[in-house]
Amino acid sequence: MDAKFISRGQLPEWLRSLAARFAVLAPARAGSSVIYRPVDPEAPPRQPELAVKPTESAKRALFPLSEALLTFVKNQPDGKPGLELRETPPPRPCLVFGLPSCDARGFLVFDPVYAGSGTAGKFQDNYYLRRREQAVLIVKTCPRPLSTCFCNWVGGGPASTEGADVLATELKDGLVLEALTGKGARVLDSALLRPAADEQLTAAAQSRAASEAAMPPPVDISGCARALRGKFDSAGFWQGHSAGCLSCGACTCLCPTCYCFDLSDEERGSRGVRLRSWDSCMLPLFTQETGGHNPRAAKAARLRNRISHKFSFYPDLHPSLPGQDGHIACCGCGRCIRSCPSAVDIRRIVTEALGTAAEGAE
């Protein structure tokens, strides 16, 4: 596949040119955070913030914080009861530039669920699937891990190409861009890019190797699905780990793999929208039944569900290779840890469930 090079100076211009064809998101600094901001083709070119791992995940590119699924009009012009429903038209194709590999791997957790794995494909979420099909993900090699990073525990790595269309690796003066898919190759077809020279490719490979080497060795968490199932009824285990939890949604909102949502209506007069918006299993109302019963009224039960869903329920439902644990619904980005006001550490919960010492988890 193609490998190109773009100088740092031309990068903003290239992103602006892509914004003519895609809704482009690129990391930008906002206060003490780095978030994914739309690239405005009309605004002056801006360097994306590439030095810092984005504070939020890139999931909003394919799973917006809130989106209208349907619009409705309730009354006919003559005032008689009516109901006209319209599906929201497909959005512009999206391109995310500079997301870390963990963010791209996060979407691999969304994919089967939204393709209807629960109903053998009978019910498919086309709002997600059509975004996914058109999206171009340009992953950037992570230069060095944060104290919260553990992508290599769950099958990832700082230069993982899974789920990505282009792999970007930073050199001193620019980026080497290597196409991984046809979609990726098409976005690299620009006069602003020039073919990568051999020494640039070598330097990029060395940079990736250095990134891999900078990762502390992974902790073996195979068997976590079974271990967490075994811990399900250990009230003390979950009460202990959830004692400091505030029951907020910081962990789930910033998580690249948390895909749960709410549906709600908003209306003005006789018109309105049905919205799908992010929801969080850490909030008590998530499972509150109309009749008053709440199966996860305690924060310990909610934390148990979040961790078990990622490391036990989801892997059980999504087996990978025979003899291996299923696909873990966590990409090891560590955002739930570093965004948690109480520093609740998902790694510690999993490793303690496994009964192994959290080596390398510092």
Partner 1 sequence: MPNNPYLPQVATVLEVIAETPDIKSFRLRLDDEAAHAALRFEPGQAGQLSLFGAGEATFAISSPPSRKEYLQFSVLRAGEVTTALHGLMPGDKVGVRAPLGNHFPYDDMKGKDIILVGGGIGMAPLRPLLLFMLDNRDDYGKISLLYGARSPGDLAYMGEIREWMARGDLSVTLTIDREVPEWPHEVGLVPQALDKLSPSPANAVAITCGPPGMIKYVLQTLKKLKFADGQIYTTLEKRMKCGVGICGRCNIGDKYVCIDGPVFTQAQLTGMLNEL
Partner 2 sequence: MALREQLKKMILEVLPGVDCVIGWGAGYDALHAAPLFMRAPEDVERFLSGPLGAFGAVQNPALFLPELAGKKIGLVVKGCDSRSVVQLAAENLIKREEVVIIGFPCEGVIDLHKLRNKLAAHFVVNEPGGVTAVNLAGDHLALTAGGQEYTFKRDEIMADKCPRCREPNAVISDCFAGIERRADNIADDYEDIAALERMSLEDRFRFWEQEMSRCVRCYACRNACPLCVCRDHCAGASRDPHWLTQADSTRDKFMFQLIHTLHLAGRCTGCGECQRACPLGIPVLLLKRSLGRAVEEMFDYRAGLDTEAKPPLLTFRVEERKIKEREW
In this chain, which stretch among 86-94, 119-127, 139-147, 162-170 interacts with partner 2, using CB under 8 A? 139-147
| From the list partner 1, partner 2, none, partner contacted by residue 66 (C-beta under 5 to 8 A by kind) | partner 2
What is the CB-side half-sphere exposure of residue 110 using CA atoms within 13 A?
Answer: 27
Binding to partner 2 (CB under 8 A) within 270-329 occurs at 273, 275, 277-278, 280, 283-285, 288
Among 43, 235, 243, 357, binds partner 2 (CB under 8 A): 243
Element (H, E) at 302: helix 299-308
Q: Nearer Cβ to partner 2, position 2 or 212?
A: 212
3-state secondary structure 75-124: ECCCCCEEEEEEECCCCCCEEEEEEEHHHHHHHHHHHHHHCCHHHCCCCC
| Sites of contact with partner 1 (CB under 8 A) | 69-70, 72, 74, 80-85, 87, 113-114, 116-119, 122-127, 229, 232-233, 259-265, 267, 272, 274, 276, 279, 281, 286-291, 293, 295-296, 301, 305, 308-309, 312-314, 316-317
Task: Spell 188-224 as b/e; 16+ CB within 10 A means b.
Answer: bebeebeebeeebbebbeebbeebeeebeebbebeeb
Contact 142, 150 (CB under 8 A): no
- What tokens does 198 get? 């051999």
CB 278 to partner 1: min, Å? 11
Total of chain residues touching partner 2, rule CB under 8 A: 56
Contact 138, 96 (CB under 8 A): yes
3-class state of residue 248 by DSSP: coil
In the complex, which residues of this chain contact partner 2 (CB under 8 A)? 29-33, 35, 51-53, 55-56, 64-66, 68, 144, 146-149, 240, 243-244, 246-250, 252-254, 262, 264, 266, 273, 275, 277-278, 280, 283-285, 288, 334, 337-339, 341-345, 347-348, 361-362
